[in-house]
Amino acid sequence: MKFKGQNNEYIEIVNVNKSNANILNESKQSELCMIWFKTDNNKINIDAIDYVFNTNDIISLTEFHTVRVDNLIEATLIKWNRSFYCVVDHDSEVGCKGILYYGASTVPIIKLDEKHIDVLSTLFKMLYIEMESRDNLQLEMLQMMLKRLLILCTRIYKDQNIGSKLRTQSIDTIREYNYLVEQHFKTKHTVKEYAALLFKSPKTLSNLFKKYGDTTPQQFIQNRLMLEARRLLTYTERPISEIGFELGFSDIQAFSRFFSKQEGHSPQKFRNREIMPTK
């Protein structure tokens, strides 16, 4: 089911299975999506990494992810464009920037329990009903329901990955750091540069990340660089020297040293590999 407004804004909900799984490869500019898997053993390659998603896993993807479906049994896909609802411009309403979207070097995965399933199932039923409405409040109603979905999923993700370790203000600092890395990772490679943008000290950021998890602020930058490097090496035929230059390295030797240290082998060997890394 799809709603399309007068200014090309749209939101769409699709039941996906083997017959129409190619829809996951068709992300358009300024489009975000969520996928709710309804069965076990769904095998999907995202940005050159193999994932297996099981019943009641939910993932968030952007237009920048490259997806290859190897085996998708059943899932529900909801997708929308920026004109319909921009999570960056409306971050104060939903708080998912830097967590579910535009801030992770790995795919954000939510695992639903029975309570979550009941709530989200009801929300999707309401979305389906509203999709069939044809009055002048339909756009606002659908936006409101999408906001509810984003808020719920953000809360669940925080509970599962952050818990009560950090105050809201500290979480917001980490979210903003993640988003800034997403914006500037090609030109800014040090924690000091991001700390300056946030008016924080590098030590303050390090302490926050230590409470948040095992990844340091510097590792977060490196992980984002590696994600982009893998994307470009896998999905383009651009020269390795050109890729390194785009990612902010002064020469191919500097890029090769960085990549080899992170991946365990050179960019050329990675490009020539036959077996994709597995998540």
Cα distance between residue 243 and residue 241, in whole Å? 5
2-161: CATH topology: Jelly Rolls (2.60.120)
Q: What residue spans define the domains of the chain?
A: 2-161, 168-272
Q: Output the six-digit token pair for 1.
A: 């089911």
Task: Provide the β-strand partners of residue 278.
Answer: 50
Q: If DSSP codes are grouped into helix, strand and coil, which group holds residue 37?
A: strand
Determine the pLDDT at residue 168. 75
Determine the pLDDT at residue 123. 95
Q: Given the structure tokens 């053993």, which residue do they identify?
A: 41
By the 10 Å C-beta count (0-12 exposed, 13-18 middle, 19+ buried), 253 is classed as exposed
Q: How far is CA 155 from the centre of its chain?
A: 16
Cα distance between residue 227 and residue 247, in whole Å? 11
One-letter amino acid for residue 175 of the chain:
R
Which letter, b or e, does each residue of 53-67 get, where b requires 16 or more Cβ atoms within 10 Å of its Cβ? bebbbbbbbbeebeb
Q: Which residues contact 149 (CB under 8 A, 6 or more apart)?
A: 34, 78, 120, 123, 127
Cα distance between residue 246 and residue 250, in whole Å? 10
Determine the pLDDT at residue 275. 43
| pLDDT, averaged in runs of 10, over the chain (279 residues) | 90 94 84 96 92 97 92 96 94 92 88 94 94 88 96 92 70 91 95 96 91 85 94 92 95 94 92 59
Determine the pLDDT at residue 279. 46
Determine the pLDDT at residue 164. 55
Determine the pLDDT at residue 166. 64
CATH number listed for the domain at residues 168-272: 1.10.10.60
Among 215, 114, 95, 222, which Cα is nearest to 157's?
A: 95
Among 234, 274, 259, which Cα is nearest to 67's?
A: 234
Determine the pLDDT at residue 163. 59
Cα distance between residue 197 and residue 45, in whole Å? 34
